Amino acid sequence: MSTVADAFATRHGAAPTGVWFAPGRVNLIGEHTDYNDGFVLPFALPHRAVVAAAPAAGGRSRVRSVQEPGAPVEFSAASVVPGEVPGWAAYVAGTCWAFREAGYPLGEVELELDSDVPVGAGLSSSAAVECAVGVALAGLAGADVDPTTLARIARRAENEFVGAPTGGMDQMASMHGRAGRLVFLDTRGDTVELVPFDLPAHDLELLVVDTRAPHAHASGEYGARRADCEAAAAALGVPALRDAGPDDLPRIADERIRRRARHIVTENARVVETVRLLSGGADPRAIGPLLDASHTSMRDDFEITVPHVDVAVEAARDGGATGARMTGGGFGGCVIALVEADGAAAVTASVREAFAQRGWAEPVVFPGTPSDGAGRLT
């Protein structure tokens, strides 16, 4: 993706100061646990947002995106505050704002953005943009900002500038990812441990299936699940569901709230068990039943799946997958399937066939390869 550097040079008559990148992510296991002080286990994708950047002359910053053709969006990076920049550029301006709020120096900037992270598919194109801009701003400032601090800056942009009440998993995965590794994140305290996930060594692949299901009511349902989890923690008298165990669940009187809590409690346990197996050098096939159980829990207890993802999971298993689950916040988005490398084609065919039979748009299937987190390209 040196094309952003070329586009920048053509437009500005000079090369950018540098080119930085940050990836999208897939969550292997640990869904909706992040806002319950729990555990998640994502990895960074090879798909990235790339940003060419340089200081801007004059009192305005400008950002362009290949994915948002048209005039550049202008704002003042040195003074912008929440509410001033709507639309896609809020992810960029918000990162500038949060970077300044964290106490780092920031003048005006020229930014040229490109990304191959699918937008709105649950692969966190938004965190990729924020984190790419974050590492670019740190690079331009010559500031040595650690990855967790940049992830928090990026998350603050999304929460307080864009206004999306998400947890911190996406930005931490985008910043901390590493080739061949999973990012085991304890969201209480934001501690990170890299866990080996060497699929080629075991003749395995992790397929990502973008179901292209229309996202329905995702943000409203997300808020409702957060509220249910808070109600469950309050009923148990614990600070967060992270602090509850299976024995506590019968104490929750409301049937729906109890099921929501059961998903979080069992999902946290599945993340910990997945990490135990993989860190201990187990054959990754051993995590298949945990992936399956996670999906069942999301479908029946947390109720965040939709027919497209349930069908994709079933078809992947019918096609020979060792384990499969929805990944991401739910109500659409992607499914992952752990498959034998020589069985990937059969699993893909099975999912395509199931979708074709129902007259649904063809899903997009690609291998999810754990890749490096944000950094500087040139």
Contact predicate 281/195, CB 8 Å: no
Which does residue 187 touch among ligand ADP, Mg ion, none (CB within 5 to 8 A, set by kind)?
A: none
Binding mask 121-160 for ligand ADP (x = CB under 6 A): xxxxxx--x-------------------------------
Which does residue 113 touch among ligand ADP, Mg ion, none (CB within 5 to 8 A, set by kind)?
A: ligand ADP
Burial 330-367 (b: 16+ CB within 10 A, else e): bbbbbbbbbbbeebbebbbebbbebbeeeebeebebee
Nearer to ligand ADP, 49 or 347 (CB): 49
Nearer to ligand ADP, 91 or 261 (CB): 91
Q: How far is the CB of 47 from ligand ADP (least distance, A)?
A: 10
Nearer to Mg ion, 121 or 321 (CB): 121
Which does residue 67 touch among Mg ion, ligand ADP, none (CB within 5 to 8 A, set by kind)?
A: ligand ADP
Q: Is 115 in the site for ligand ADP (CB under 6 A)?
A: yes
Comparing CA positions, the residue from 122, 127, 121, 132 lying closest to residue 171 is 127
Three-state DSSP class for residue 243 = helix
Q: How far is the CB of 116 from ligand ADP (least distance, A)?
A: 9
Comparing CA positions, the residue from 29, 24, 32, 26 lying closest to residue 331 is 32
Q: Is 323 in the site for ligand ADP (CB under 6 A)?
A: no
Q: How far is the CB of 350 from ligand ADP (least distance, A)?
A: 25
Q: How far is the CB of 300 from ligand ADP (least distance, A)?
A: 24
Three-state DSSP class for residue 198 = coil
DSSP for residue 235: H
Q: Among 34, 37, 114, 170, which one carries the catalytic annotation? A: 170
Residue at 241: amino acid letter: L
* Cβ atoms < 10 Å from Cβ of 116: 17
CA dist., res. 322 & res. 338, Å (int): 5
Q: How far is the CB of 166 from ligand ADP (least distance, A)?
A: 7
Q: Is 330 in the site for ligand ADP (CB under 6 A)?
A: no
Which does residue 65 touch among Mg ion, ligand ADP, none (CB within 5 to 8 A, set by kind)?
A: ligand ADP
Q: How far is the CB of 150 from ligand ADP (least distance, A)?
A: 17
279-to-114, 188, 260, 275, 312 alpha-carbon distances in Å: 35, 21, 29, 6, 29
DSSP for residue 341: G
CA dist., res. 183 & res. 151, Å (int): 13
Partners of 111 in the beta sheet?
A: 53, 63
In degrees and rounded to multiples of 5, residue 55 shows phi and psi of: -60, 145
Nearer to ligand ADP, 41 or 85 (CB): 85
Nearer to ligand ADP, 12 or 215 (CB): 215
Using DSSP bridges, classify how beta strands 68-75 and 39-40 pair: parallel, antiparallel or unpaired. unpaired
Q: How far is the CB of 78 from ligand ADP (least distance, A)?
A: 22
Comparing CA positions, the residue from 148, 151, 161, 52 lying closest to residue 97 is 161
Q: Is 113 in the site for ligand ADP (CB under 6 A)?
A: yes
Which does residue 119 touch among Mg ion, ligand ADP, none (CB within 5 to 8 A, set by kind)?
A: ligand ADP
Nearer to ligand ADP, 187 or 350 (CB): 187
Annotated active-site residue 248? The verdict is no
Q: Which residues 86-105 are close enough to bind ligand ADP by CB under 6 A?
A: 88, 91
Nearer to ligand ADP, 70 or 142 (CB): 70
Q: Hey, CA dihedral for 338, 340, 346, 348, is it positive or negative?
A: positive
Q: Is 211 in the site for ligand ADP (CB under 6 A)?
A: no
Q: Which residues 32-91 are close enough to bind ligand ADP by CB under 6 A?
A: 49, 65, 67-68, 88, 91
Q: Which residue has the tokens 């003749």?
A: 203
CA dist., res. 12 & res. 5, Å (int): 10
CA dist., res. 182 & res. 176, Å (int): 9
Binding mask 266-285 for ligand ADP (x = CB under 6 A): --------------------
By annotation, the residues acting in catalysis are: 170
Contact residues: ligand ADP, CB under 6 A: 49, 65, 67-68, 88, 91, 113, 115, 119-126, 129
